[in-house]
Amino acid sequence: MAELNGRPVGADELQALALTNYGHFTSMRVEDGRVRGLALHLERLARDCRAVFGAELDTGRVRELARRAAPAAGTGVVRVTVFDPGLDIGRLGAGGRPQVLVTTRPAGVLPLPPLRVRSVEFVRDAPEIKSVGLFASLRQRRAAQLAGFDDALFADAGSAVSEGGTWNVGFVRDGQVLWPAARCLLGTTMELVKQVHGSVTEPVRLGDLAGFEAAFATNVAIGVQAISAVDGLALPGSHPVIDLLRRKYLDLPGDQL
């Protein structure tokens, strides 16, 4: 299903999104009409709309459009993409008219099996914004998969770990949850996990990973997913702290969309 401002979208209206890839989005896992971290998703959309288009977004209207598209029962993923169908890439400073595209897709069954990831020196452009420009990140994922891994883990030139291809990364050390202090997308799942379980944030370098008990990835689609390997370093595919985080996250009731 795909609707632009609450009506079926035409191919001509999607042309600007397909050809210029300029916009931003959020993806929400909807379970029986409820969304974990709904306020965080709406805040992100409003914040990114100001950053990308210099415009205010009516989040109440966004919520209404997302509710129209969401499955009435069961589980699905609703993606809200904000873009300008009339975008002129030669006059981006002239202001835009961002519109709301809502699409849906099936949701996977949680939990998912552990990830095996390959580290790569890479920093996303404007990592704080959840932009539709995923080419560079997905290219790193493809390269990692061709090398026999599931995904890529990003680190800067100084080996400081930041995030994964489309997910946040966390670690367990001495029973405590640790998040990397680095520029990254502040994912809604990561923020919710922080709310339900104490943690610390500090710089993490690739050379530090051997001293950790476990590692995990978080986003809406995967929830809390263990990481069983980083490059040649084996990590446990399950851990009591990761299991606890997963339970706490899944136990969140969510908000009515």
Question: Residues 30-39: pLDDT tens digits?
Answer: 999 999 999 9
* Percent of the chain topping pLDDT 70: 100
* Amino acid symbol at 46: A
Is the pLDDT at 252 greater than 80? The verdict is yes
* Amino acid symbol at 104: T
Is the pLDDT at 112 greater than 80? The verdict is yes
Ranges 20-24, 77-81, 89-93, 103-107: which has the least confidence: 89-93
* Percent of the chain topping pLDDT 90: 94
Residue 83 has a pLDDT of 97
* pTM recorded for the entire structure: 0.96
State the angle between helix axes of 188-196 and 38-53 in degrees (0 to 180), rounded to the nearest 10. 140
Look at the block and give the residue holding tokens 């405590």: 176
Is the pLDDT at 96 greater than 90? The verdict is no
Strands 151-155 and 115-121: parallel
CB 245 within 8 A of CB 177: yes
Radius of gyration of the chain, Cα coordinates, nearest whole angstrom: 19
CA dist., res. 257 & res. 249, Å (int): 18
pLDDT confidence band for 139 (50 / 70 / 90): very high
